[in-house]
Structure 1
Amino acid sequence: MDQRLEVFLKVIEKKNFSRAAEALHMTQPAVSQYIRSLEESTGVKLMERTNKYVRLNKAGEIVFHHAVEIKELYAKMNHLLEDLTHKASGSIAIGASYTFGEYLLPRIIAEAKEQYPDIKPTVTIGNTTTIAGLVLSHQLDVGIVEGHFKGVQELKTEPFAEDRMVIVAPSDHFLTHRKEPIKMEELIEETWILRELGSGTREATENVFEQFSISPQSIMHFSSTQPIKAMVEAGMGISLLSEWAIQKELRYGDIKVLDVKEMPYTRDFSIVTRSPFQTKALSAFLDLLRSHKELTDFKIL
């Protein structure tokens, strides 16, 4: 990788020329010379700088964005070359949407570390749209998501396991005592507690609303599953959640699944990648992931 880009990234990270020089074991004039050379080669100034701060201008933001991608691609290239002669080892940047990332991924990573102790995974948890974007920009090697994203031809999506989603309510909700199945239209007047836009769980809920032509008027939004479960438990409303996300709450009776005639709703967990080339570490992790297609090993109940 061009050392001028490495110096540029370090200056932005440290927000100061002298601190960047110290981190790179260079003199400050050497750092300044690298930045000057980069600006001369691009033909534009990249940053505003004073004795107190370093601030990117518009051109600098463009170079910074692409320099990060170049650094990721350069590291990936080296890993692939090393893999020609070495066993599965090295870093894997894994992303996962909340349901899979919080409730299933930790046990898969533990298994991967047991089988391949030289693999060094790092994990990013976010909604489906965020994870897809990070894979697209080469900041993640692989994403595991639920839901769909459109118009991203560069990404390869591989459904590998099924997720069942159910409607949950407070344990003392009057509908939990019904002996006959509940119809979806009976839930229109309930307060629905939903995930944010861009979430696979939110997409699934909207699909259910559309499928059964219901439009609840009372809706609350949260950016992760944990507070949704807490709100349901507190009697504030109902929600559509993955069975994986509610295992412990069902076990302790904190919430209950409503016997809705049209449920459960099913969707896929999918593996999302971009590069056609895979390190041995990533290939080994994906093989392990696919081996849990039924996910039956992870049942808590």
Structure 2
Amino acid sequence: MDQHLQVFITVVEKGNFSRAAEELHMTQPAVSQYIQAFERTMGTKLLDRTNKYVRLNKAGEIVYHHAKEIIGLYSKMHYLVDDLTNKTSGPLTIGASYTFGEYVLPHIIVNMKKEYPLITPSITIGNTKDIAELMLAHQLDIGIVEGDFNNKQLSIEPFAKDHLYVVASPKHRLAQLKDELSISDIAEETWIVRENGSGTREAAEKLFKLGKIAPKDLLEFGSTQLIKESVEAGLGIALLSDWAVRKDIENGALCKISIKNSTITRDFSIVLHSPFQTKALEVFLNMVKEK
């Protein structure tokens, strides 16, 4: 059955039978036979076909979603069994929210590859909400998220604290002020924030609530790097992680704005779905916790 699922997934993702056949190193008639047999097993058509493409119908959408989960679990089962007798190796699918994924994770991966070259990591970067959804769909072995996150279906373990700071361009008028500011002093500034669902956006909302302010000029960008570039260019100010701005502050591209009683911290948390761990995942977990 796993072969039928794999053929079905490949046809859907490639968009037609010929490209799927090429990907699977099969003939097109063989791919068609697999799909027909699979549809008979499911008791209904799963694909709408034309000469140029195939598309999922409503039943197909349900089957595709669960097929991805089944294949992921099936592969994980094989690697867990294989780990009992072989060296630490195999694929490791990692999901991380932007701050950890872009500024911390690369250093961990470098060290892991030096010590365990047979592990092949695959990394997905998204906001906390995106990573949680992929974990629930069994598309990731591990997720690392930021901020206050809870889900009864997932195991969530905070492992590190992250400090966030208000930053501005060195040329910004706030950067010229030597006195410590109150949060109300920066309420009228243009704030550049991440999208809803982001841990960094959650932290900014916490700061606004703490200072009882409601910034009127709010720009929403979907990338921490884009926010940093925009702040450096003088477009506005932002609340960003120490990990994200450390180098920029050291080289003078950004500067911290000192705000009274505005210490904002959040947790980085490890998210797991299954109690069973491959050796590759165990190795990665240990390295994350030692970081």
Please classify the TM superposition score into its range, dividing by the shorter chain length.
over 0.9
Matches within 5 A, 1:154-165: 154-165=153-164
Q: CA RMSD in A?
A: 1.4
Which whole-Å CA distance do the structure 2 matches of 1:224 and 1:23 have between them? 33
Q: What whole-Å deviation, never above 9, does each CA across 1:198-221 have from its counterpart, x for those lacking one?
A: 110000000111122111111111
Establish whether residue 221 from structure 1 lines up as the match of residue 220 from structure 2: yes
Aligned to 1:55: 55
Cα-to-partner distance string for 1:122-173 (whole Å, 9 max, x where unaligned): 11111111011111111111111111334x2111111111100010112122
The CA deviation string for residues 211-261 of structure 1, in whole angstroms up to 9 with x for no partner, is 221111111110011111111111111110011111221112122101111
Segments ≥4 residues shifted beyond 4 Å: none
1:235 matches 2:234: yes
Q: Provide the C-alpha distance between the structure 2 equivalents of 1:90 and 1:279, rounded to a whole number of angstroms.
A: 9
Matched residue SS, 1:113: helix
- Matches of residues 1-301 of structure 1 in structure 2 within 5 Å? 1-150=1-150, 152-292=151-291
Gaps of 5+ in 2: none
TM-score (norm 1): 0.93
Kindly provide the CA deviation profile for residues 183-210 of structure 1, in whole angstroms up to 9, marking residues without a partner as x.
Answer: 1111111111101111100000001111
DSSP 3-state at the match of 1:62: helix
Question: What amino acid is the match of 1:198?
Answer: G
Contact conserved, 2:148 with 2:267, CA < 8 A, in 1?
no
The code of the aligned residue for 1:269 comes to F
Per-residue deviation, 1:176? 2.4
Q: Which region of structure 1 is more displaced relative to structure 2, 198-207 or 132-141?
A: 132-141
Distance in 2 (CA, whole Å) between partners of 1:207 and 1:127 is 17
Letter in 1 for 2:144: I
Please say if residues 168 and 241 of structure 1, whose CA atoms lie closer than 8 Å, have aligned partners that are also in contact: yes
State which drifts further: 68-77 or 141-150. Answer: 141-150
Give, in whole Å, the separation in 2 of the partners of 1:226 and 1:2: 41
- Report the equivalent of 1:297: none
- What amino acid does structure 2 have at the position aligned with 1:203? E
Aligned length: 291
Whether contact under 8 Å (1:176, 1:259) holds in the other structure is no
TM-score (norm 2): 0.96
Report which stretch shifted further, 155-164 or 263-272: 263-272
- Using the aligned pairs only, state the percent identity: 57
The amino acid across from 1:192 in the alignment is W
- Alignment partners' CA distance in 1, 2:194 and 2:19: 41
In the alignment, the residues of structure 2 paired with residue 11 and residue 272 of structure 1 have an alpha-carbon distance, to the nearest angstrom, of: 31
Q: Is the 8 A contact 1:14 1:20 kept in 2?
A: yes
Counterpart residue identity of residue 75, structure 2: A
The secondary structure found in structure 2 opposite 1:66 is: helix
SS in 1 for 2:26: coil
Could you say what secondary structure the match of 1:220 adopts? strand
Q: 1:173 to 1:13 in 2, by over 3 A?
A: closer
The answer to whether the 8 A contact 2:96-2:131 is kept is: yes
CA distance in 1 between counterparts of 2:233 and 2:21 reads 54
Cα distance in 1 for residues equivalent to 2:52 and 2:200: 45
Q: Give unmatched runs, 5+ long, in structure 1.
A: 293-301
